[in-house]
Amino acid sequence: MASIYKTNSLSHTVLLIDGNHFESSQLISPRIIEILKKKSKKDFKVFGIIDEHGNDIIVAPFVSKENRSATALLEDVRTLGSVAQKVSVAVQLETISVASELSSELNFAFLEGFALTNYSFSKYKSNSSPQLKDIYVQENMLNDQAIGTLNHIVKSVFYARDIVNEPLSGLNAKSLSESAKSFSENVGIQYQELGIDTIRSLKMGGVLGVNKGSLNDPTFTVLEWKPENAVNTNPIVLVGKGVVYDSGGYSIKVGDGMKTMKCDMGGAAAVFGSIYLAALEKLPLHIITIVPAVENMINEKAIVPGDILTISDGTTVEVLNTDAEGRLILSDALVYARQFNPEFVFDFATLTGAAMRALGSEGAAFMGTASQEIKDLVQAAAYYSHERVSEMPLWEEYAEQLKSDIADISNLGGPLAGAITAGKFLEHFTKYPWLHFDIAATAFLSHSSSYRLAGGTGTGIRLMLEFFKRYIANVQK
């Protein structure tokens, strides 16, 4: 992984300049000013030239368009950073130093877009696509703390992308949990994996039921970040869906439906990545992360439609569709969260195709019972990080779709409002303020979009960092 360092030496450089006022820029040579003068501002794009010493100069002119919100401008400059990374790689550079004359907030966003583009999952490639080895920034571009944060974001997001991109053959429930153990040891997070005997003795019928068709045991991982200076008395609990593969079970997926289902632990990646980043940043917050992990597979022991499972709180569920498995394992985790008397619980899950159809990959659906104050903080963090979210209602009428003739509830709603009926199912198991994030469309992309590259995106982590910062500031107010 390329890290970001400070330097004062100039060789191959990326110059982030103010495209609105380039004529007076101190950063670029008269020759570059002449080149820019010949173009109209709306046609400005990143370009490379070679200076008189033979160094590559990549010019990134940032034109702040009118009527853009502050958060939209941040995203514009992240995308500019992403393009600058691609141009740097295209001209075959291995290291680059970035200089800028913009504000530190814009510099941060530019480098974020740049660094998040500098990723490839090349473990299984004989010839991996080249990336920059290191990224240097000029002394005055960002302070040390901001550079530290950038490196922490890159580390945690790349961890999440890696585990989402890893197929079932390389990542099962056990190795998913072990990946969390590895990062936890380095940053002072307490790691616990309950083990199959405890999962059985706690009667986690959702986790055990979904995993019945697998040859491997499920895992149930609990991480805790508890710094002495935590500003919250009760912990914030994050729950993540850890289905390392979702074949659908006997309600088997058809067509291309199964092709990307290694991504079904994207919720686990989001919450593992979020607590990792919180610890790297030494945030003064008490956070607990819970990940139930299973394989949703088929063999002669697998559950079938019509089976009844008993969740750890005693709720009986008629499984009318084995492909609605995420809610079954999450219910055991949401029950387990009760013992911590949480301030609030957020769950992240690649839960429904319905959320995907509703919003596409431009944002995640969220819903829940947390206070308006918490929801407002989430929204502000979502726009700032550009990991946007849109709220769906949890009106009581939706629960009627989950009625079962022979059990307490069924795991299958009707043909409409599938993201919401999934949320209603989860709500049944919550006894605390709670929000559910359905990241089915945003956790994994089939095509790259700016710095969100094709494959696992690591979504949710930058959202949570911004949320945590706002939450801390709010408490301290």
Residue 461's contacts (CB-CB under 8 Å, 6 or more residues apart) are 153, 156, 157, 160, 270, 273, 274, 277
SS (H, E, C) 311-363: CCCCCEEECCCCCCCHHHHHHHHHHHHHHHCCCEEEEEECCCHHHHHHHHHHC
Is 403 one of the annotated active-site residues of the chain?
A: no
Exactly one of 264, 281, 387, 466 binds Zn ion (CB under 5 A); that residue is 264
297-336 footprint of Zn ion as x/- string (CB under 5 A): --------------------------x-xx----------
Using the minimum distance from each CB to ligand BES, give the nearer residue, 206 or 326: 326
Q: 253, 375, 431, 469: which is the annotated catalytic residue?
A: 253
- For ligand BES, the closer of residues 262 and 462 by Cβ is 262
Among 161, 212, 241, 327, the one annotated catalytic: 327
As measured in angstroms, the least distance from the Cβ of 448 to Zn ion is 24
Give 267 or 368: the residue with its C-beta nearer to ligand BES: 267
Dihedrals phi, psi of 470, to nearest 5 degrees: -70, -40
Q: Shortest gap between Cβ of 384 and Zn ion (angstroms)?
A: 29
b/e burial code for range 80-116 (CB count within 10 A of at least 16 → b)? bbbbbbebbbeeebeebbbbbbbeeebbbbbbbbbbb
Query: E strands within 363-411?
Result: 364-368, 389-391, 409-410
Closer to ligand BES by Cβ: residue 242 or 418: 418
- For residue 224, how far is the Cα from the chain centroid? 19
Nearest residue (CB) to ligand BES, 386 versus 424: 424
Strands (E), 51-203: 56-62, 95-100, 134-138, 190-193
- Minimum Å distance from CB 270 to ligand BES? 13
Q: Which of 99, 119, 124, 122 is nearest to 13 (CA)?
A: 99
Which residues from 455-474 bind Zn ion, rule CB under 5 A? none
The binder of 332, among Zn ion, ligand BES, none, by C-beta within 5 to 8 A per type, is none
Name residues whose C-beta falls within 8 Å of residue 89's C-beta, 6 or more positions apart in sequence.
118, 130, 131, 132
Residues 6+ apart with CB under 8 A from 191: 180, 181, 184, 185, 221, 222, 223
Q: At its nearest, how many Å lie between ligand BES and the CB of residue 168? A: 14
Q: Toward Zn ion, which CB reaches closer, 141 or 443?
A: 443
Q: Write down the least CB distance from residue 321 to ligand BES, Å.
A: 4
Closest distance between ligand BES and the C-beta of residue 403, in Å? Answer: 15
Query: In 211-294, which residue ranges form alpha helices assigned H by DSSP?
Result: 266-280
- Non-local (6+) Cβ contacts of 25 within 8 A are 17, 18, 33, 101
Q: Which is nearer to ligand BES, 76 or 387 (CB)?
A: 387
- Residue 438 near Zn ion by CB under 5 A: no
Q: Which residues bind ligand BES (CB under 6 A)?
A: 246, 264, 321, 323-326, 350-354, 356, 412, 418, 440
Active site annotation includes 338: no
* C-alpha 370 chain-centroid distance: 21
Is the separation of the CB atoms in 425 and 408 below 8 Å? no
From Zn ion, ligand BES, none, interface partner of 75 (C-beta below 5 to 8 A by class): none
Type of residue numbered 379: Q
The residue sitting closest to ligand BES, measured at its beta carbon, is 353
Residue 246 lies near Zn ion (rule: CB under 5 A): yes
Q: Binding of Zn ion at residue 249 (CB under 5 A)?
A: no
Least gap, CB of 323 to ligand BES (angstroms): 4
176 binds, among ligand BES, Zn ion, none (CB under 5 to 8 A by kind): none
445 binds, among ligand BES, Zn ion, none (CB under 5 to 8 A by kind): none
* Phi/psi at 81 (5° precision): -65, -40
- 208 within 8 A of 220, measured Cβ to Cβ: no
> Which sequence positions are flagged as catalytic?
253, 327
Q: Which residues bind Zn ion (CB under 5 A)?
A: 243, 246, 264, 323, 325-326
